[in-house]
């Protein structure tokens, strides 16, 4: 069987399992035996998890001996932890290799915050209707951001822009017609710079939020200052990407975010240069291509002096208040790389006061909940079989997410260590 392009790039190549046509599914049943399970919320000390076709068909706690079909793939779980496939809540994705590569690192779903290749997201959505992908990450997309003339996003090419509030409904409807799963707004004067950048007028932003909700779409907004946070919170957005860099939000604003249930995707990988951490990591580093190494070394500071600490202080305040925090890489910006960056991003949460379990939730169950994806993000019977098997206990040592044994995507197993597979 020909391996996906992204898998061939690995020095430790993932091995694709054979097809069992007699089952009526593309892939044979899979059983991960005697494994610790982080189910997206908490840890099950020992269980056997069985997948059938594209879903998790059964979870049996303890050491019970099960009769499995003869064609089953059995993976021993001793000393390992099974967790949901990771969800990257902030990327910019416009090509198939950008969906294939994250799977190598256990990222099974990515949220695209918009690109100028508007046809790509629509084509992937059409494929998704036919069934889940098995050799790449699933894509959910904003298609294109809602932005103002001369504002952020217009530097990437000629894109439609929004000016007047009365045009917001048609503008949003066009994004939905192109296949948008959610709507992304740019509402940011870029106060990290000496010169302000234009952005949507407040009333236009509010009209776009209302139009998106009228279409039944979640609204995500790019904002990086306290006044913008307050404006979009009052407008009723669902989530915000990035942290403020001008000042830490006050208690009243944080209470408002909490009251309205607004989540924040914090993108810590853009707050400081973490490329060297990825490159030098004994598990992640050998998997990188030369171009990925170069991009990881291309970090550019995108905030005013001291803004990095303001962002971290804000993270602490939001965490203390119980605001839902999500992980996201904002790939392919300089200093990041697809898939691998997520492992460092969640580790940065732990460095900044989160427990490993909280950090894991940010990239699994909480991420799925924030975007209304009810079929993934947890290890639960009946959900899509998107799973990551690692050596160690990442709920105790977060860096263990990097010790990948296998990635299961919609029931199809991709092995990092072929010797871990046994036939029953």
Reported as a single tens digit per residue, the pLDDT across 61-116 is 987 767 777 788 999 999 999 999 999 999 999 999 999 999 999 999 999 999 98
User: Residue with structure tokens 């973490």?
Assistant: 274
Residue 194 has what pLDDT?
63
306: number of Cβ within 10 Å: 10
Q: What are phi and psi of 329, to 5 degrees?
A: -95, -25
What sign results for the dihedral spanned by CA atoms 61, 67, 73, 75?
positive
Question: 26 falls in which pLDDT band (50, 70, 90)?
Answer: low
Buried b (16+ CB within 10 A) or exposed e, 352-365: bebebbbbbbbbbb
Stretch 407-419: mean pLDDT: 82
CB atoms within 10 A of CB 322: 10
Q: CA nearest 42: which of 326, 333, 369, 396?
A: 396
Q: Which residues contact 55 (CB under 8 A, 6 or more apart)?
A: 382, 383, 384, 385, 411
Question: pLDDT class for 184, splitting at 50, 70, 90?
Answer: very high
- Which stretch of DSSP H or E encloses residue 122? helix 118-130
> What predicted TM-score, i.e. pTM, was given to this entire model?
0.92
- All structural domains of the chain, each given as residue ranges with its CATH number in brackets, are 5-83+378-423 (2.30.40.10), 86-370 (3.20.20.140)
Give 216: exposed, middle or buried? Use CB within 10 Å, 0-12, 13-18, 19+: exposed
DSSP assignment letter at 132: -
DSSP code at position 24:
T
274 pLDDT higher than 80 = yes
Which token pair is 162?
């929004």
Q: Please tell me the distance from the alpha carbon of residue 177 to that of residue 166, in angstroms, as a whole number.
A: 19
Give the pLDDT band of residue 6 (cuts 50, 70, 90). Answer: very low
Instruction: Give the whole-angstrom CA distance, residue 317 versus residue 307.
Output: 15
Calculate helix-pair angle for 226-235, 251-260, nearest 10 degrees: 30
CA atoms 228, 230, 234, 238: torsion sign: positive
Name the percent of the chain lying above pLDDT 90: 79
Q: Per-residue pLDDT for 315 more than 90?
A: yes
Mean pLDDT over all residues of the chain?
90
Least reliable range by pLDDT among 24-28, 224-228, 274-278: 24-28
Q: Tell me what pLDDT residue 189 has.
A: 82
Instruction: Single out the residue of 272, 208, 274, 219 nearest to residue 243, CA to CA.
Output: 272
Q: Which residue has the higher pLDDT, 419 or 266?
A: 266
What average pLDDT does the segment 355-380 reach? 98
Neighbouring-strand partners of residue 388:
83, 407
Structure tokens at 404: 């990948």
What end-to-end distance do the CA atoms of the chain give, in Å? 22
pLDDT band at 416 (very low <50, low <70, confident <90, very high): confident
Strands 404-409 and 412-415: antiparallel
């Amino acid at each position: 069987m020909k391996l996906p392009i992204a898998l061939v790039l690995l020095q430790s190549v993932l091995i694709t399992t054979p097809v069992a046509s007699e089952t009526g599914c593309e892939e044979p049943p899979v059983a991960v035996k005697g494994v610790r399970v982080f189910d997206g919320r908490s840890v099950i000390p020992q269980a056997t998890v069985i997948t059938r076709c594209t879903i998790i068909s059964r979870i049996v706690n303890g050491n019970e001996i099960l009769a499995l079909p003869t064609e089953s793939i059995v993976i021993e779980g001793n000393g390992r932890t099974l967790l949901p496939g990771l969800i990257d809540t902030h990327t910019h994705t416009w090509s198939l290799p950008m969906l294939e590569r994250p799977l190598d690192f256990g990222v099974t779903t990515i949220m695209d915050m918009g690109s100028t290749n508007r046809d790509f997201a629509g084509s992937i959505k059409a494929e998704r209707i036919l069934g889940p992908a098995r050799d790449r990450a699933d894509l959910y997309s904003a298609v294109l951001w809602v932005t103002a003339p001369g504002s952020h996003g217009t530097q990437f090419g000629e894109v439609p822009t929004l000016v007047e509030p009365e045009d917001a409904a048609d503008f949003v409807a066009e994004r939905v017609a192109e296949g948008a799963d959610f709507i992304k707004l740019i509402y940011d004067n870029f106060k990290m710079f000496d010169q302000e950048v234009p952005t949507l007028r407040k009333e236009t932003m509010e009209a776009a939020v209302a139009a998106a909700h009228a279409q039944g779409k979640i609204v995500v907004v790019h904002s990086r200052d306290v006044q913008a946070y307050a404006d979009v919170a009052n407008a009723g957005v669902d989530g915000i990407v990035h942290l403020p860099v001008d000042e830490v939000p006050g208690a009243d604003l944080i209470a408002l975010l909490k009251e309205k249930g607004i989540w924040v995707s914090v993108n810590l990988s853009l707050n400081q240069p973490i490329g060297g951490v990825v490159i030098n990591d004994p598990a992640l580093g050998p998997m990188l291509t030369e171009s990925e190494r170069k991009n990881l070394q291309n970090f550019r500071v995108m905030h005013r002096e001291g803004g990095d600490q303001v962002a971290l202080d804000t993270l602490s305040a939001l965490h203390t208040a119980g605001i839902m925090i999500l992980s996201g890489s904002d790939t392919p910006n300089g200093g990041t790389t697809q898939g691998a960056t997520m492992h460092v991003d969640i580790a940065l949460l732990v460095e900044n006061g989160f427990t490993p379990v909280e950090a894991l939730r940010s990239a699994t169950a909480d991420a799925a909940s924030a975007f209304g994806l009810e079929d993934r993000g947890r290890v639960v019977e009946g959900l899509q079989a998107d799973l990551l098997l690692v050596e160690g206990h990442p709920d105790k040592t977060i860096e263990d997410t990097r010790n990948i044994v296998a990635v299961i995507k919609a029931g199809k197993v991709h092995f990092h260590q072929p010797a871990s597979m046994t036939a029953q």
